């Protein structure tokens, strides 16, 4: 299926003009981190941050606060240490998410849902498709770790919507 219909009253916040994200805060799960730029790998998949200490903004998505789904990704762990999104799976509907931007403005979001998907069933269209409100997606790995492949079997995706 496509993106869920926006709840009543959604999208009332005015979207600020384009400006790259510089900091991400999700107080309920202890996230307060800088944000780097992420592009595409040669295989056309999204890059991931080079370490576990920062989140990355997918530069081919809208900037947080613009119309559409801005995408930020971070590691759940990195070389045996907790990553920025170690507790992303514990985010709850209603949690506040703040993105500070290079223009000095902030985009305030609220979590609308949290999902976990098997990587081979990742809903690319639902996560990245155009929407008619300013939204945010936070993405990390989750589920069980496959020691042979050296990666997690699932992805955790937080869907949030601009409120201020």
pLDDT in tens, 25-37: 999 999 999 999 9
96 is in which domain, residue-wise? Answer: 21-162
Name the pairing type of β-strands 134-146 and 68-73.
Answer: parallel
80, 111, 152 from 160: Cα distances, Å: 29, 4, 23
- Helix, coil or strand: residue 23: strand
- What's the confidence (pLDDT) of residue 81? 94
Encode pLDDT of 40-77 as tens digits: 999 988 999 999 999 999 999 999 999 999 999 999 99
Mean pLDDT of the chain: 90
107 located within any domain: yes
The answer, yes or no, to whether residue 113 has pLDDT greater than 90, is: yes
- What's the confidence (pLDDT) of residue 124? 93
Q: pLDDT confidence of 15, banded at 50, 70, 90? A: low
- What's the confidence (pLDDT) of residue 18? 78
DSSP state of 125: H
Average pLDDT over residues 5-27: 66
- What's the confidence (pLDDT) of residue 11? 41
Q: Which residues, other chains included, contact 158 with Cβ-Cβ below 8 Å and sequence gap of 6+? A: 88, 91, 97, 111, 113, 114, 136, 137, 138, 139
8 located within any domain: no
- What's the confidence (pLDDT) of residue 14? 52
The answer, yes or no, to whether residue 86 has pLDDT greater than 60, is: yes
- What's the confidence (pLDDT) of residue 3? 34
3 located within any domain: no
Distance CA 78, CA 83 (A): 6
Record the pTM.
0.88
Number of domains in the chain: 1
Distance CA 78, CA 111 (A): 25
45 located within any domain: yes
5 located within any domain: no
DSSP state of 13: S
- What's the confidence (pLDDT) of residue 7? 34
58 located within any domain: yes
Average pLDDT over residues 106-135: 96
CATH code of the domain containing 146: 2.40.260.10
- What's the confidence (pLDDT) of residue 24? 99
């Amino acid at each position: 299926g496509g993106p869920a219909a926006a709840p009543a009253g959604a999208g009332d916040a005015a979207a600020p003009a384009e400006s790259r994200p510089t900091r991400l805060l999700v107080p309920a799960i202890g996230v307060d981190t800088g944000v780097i730029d992420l592009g595409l790998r040669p295989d056309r998949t999204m890059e991931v941050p080079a370490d576990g200490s920062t989140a990355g903004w997918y530069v081919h998505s809208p900037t947080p606060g613009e119309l559409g789904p801005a995408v930020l990704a971070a590691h759940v762990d990195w070389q045996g240490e907790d990553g920025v999104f170690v507790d992303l799976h514990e985010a709850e509907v209603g949690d506040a998410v703040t993105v500070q931007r290079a223009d000095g403005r902030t985009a305030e979001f609220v979590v609308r849902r949290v999902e976990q998907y098997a990587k081979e069933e990742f809903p690319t269209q639902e996560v990245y498709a155009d929407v008619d409100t300013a939204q945010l997606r936070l993405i990390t790995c989750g589920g069980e770790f496959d020691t042979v492949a050296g990666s997690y079997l699932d992805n955790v995706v937080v869907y949030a919507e601009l409120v201020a």
